[in-house]
């Protein structure tokens, strides 16, 4: 792994994480980015669930009744009970979404994709308000202040690995949304340098 220190720390606009370095592999590892246009993965990246900040958990639990009905599972089974202290998350703590019948509880069982994401789009909302940061940034992630490819990309185990844009190119707009134009300009320069 080739980690490059960034010129300064970049804080996420929701309070965490703070990125201080980047794993150069984000500029070379590739994945098939058109998730909803894919006909071969069957949402396999959703099979493990995802880490969710406790503030995000509260927002999801407070979502309207039509969202809860869409999920189709009771709210009390949406998340694991294991609370993990993690200073990189805005609240300093996270849990995971439950895996039910081999997939994240929020995976659309009647179609494709994430129910949180599709609910936001279908109701005119912003998916950033409800969807977990880790899901939105995928296949990028963060650990100890380092922006890096998700483990499934690093080990090549995700079925969409290898074809398409780099993980940086695929997540660039989300980095812009959460961390701002300055980090994207710095990452663009590193990518081209």
Predicted confidence at residue 36, as pLDDT, reads: 45
For residue 48, what are the contacts with CB-CB under 8 A and spacing of at least 6? 99, 104
| Separation between Cα atoms, residue 106 and residue 52, nearest integer Å | 12
Whether the Cβ atoms of residue 174 and residue 136 lie closer than 8 Å to each other: yes
Whether the Cβ atoms of residue 145 and residue 22 lie closer than 8 Å to each other: no
User: If DSSP codes are grouped into helix, strand and coil, which group holds residue 54?
Assistant: helix
| Separation between Cα atoms, residue 174 and residue 177, nearest integer Å | 5
Is the pLDDT at 183 greater than 50? The verdict is yes
Cβ-based neighbour number of residue 96 at 10 Å: 18
Predicted confidence at residue 52, as pLDDT, reads: 96
Question: Omega before 141 cis (within 30°)?
Answer: no
Is the pLDDT at 44 greater than 90? The verdict is no
What domain range includes position 166? Answer: 3-192
Domain count, the chain: 1
113-161 residue pLDDT tens: 789 989 999 999 999 999 999 999 988 999 999 999 987 766 665 655 5
Burial of 155 (0-12, 13-18, 19+ CB in 10 A): exposed
């Amino acid at each position: 792994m080739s980690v490059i220190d960034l010129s300064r720390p970049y804080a996420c606009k929701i309070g965490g994480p703070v990125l201080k370095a980047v794993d150069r592999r984000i500029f070379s590892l590739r994945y098939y980015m058109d998730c909803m246009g894919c006909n071969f993965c069957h949402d396999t990246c959703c099979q493990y669930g995802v880490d969710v900040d406790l503030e995000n958990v509260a927002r999801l639990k407070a979502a309207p009744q039509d969202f809860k009905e869409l999920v189709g599972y009771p709210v009390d089974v949406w998340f694991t009970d294991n609370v993990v202290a993690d200073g990189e998350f805005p609240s300093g703590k996270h849990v995971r979404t439950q895996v039910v019948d081999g997939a994240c509880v929020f995976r659309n069982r009647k179609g494709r994709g994430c129910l949180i994401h599709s609910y936001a789009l279908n109701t005119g909302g912003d998916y950033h308000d409800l969807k977990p940061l880790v899901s939105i940034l995928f296949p990028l992630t963060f650990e100890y202040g380092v922006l890096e490819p998700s483990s499934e990309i690093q080990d090549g185990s995700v079925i969409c690995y290898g074809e398409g844009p780099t993980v940086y190119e695929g997540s660039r707009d989300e980095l812009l949304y959460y961390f701002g134009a300055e980090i994207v300009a710095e990452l663009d320069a590193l990518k081209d340098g």
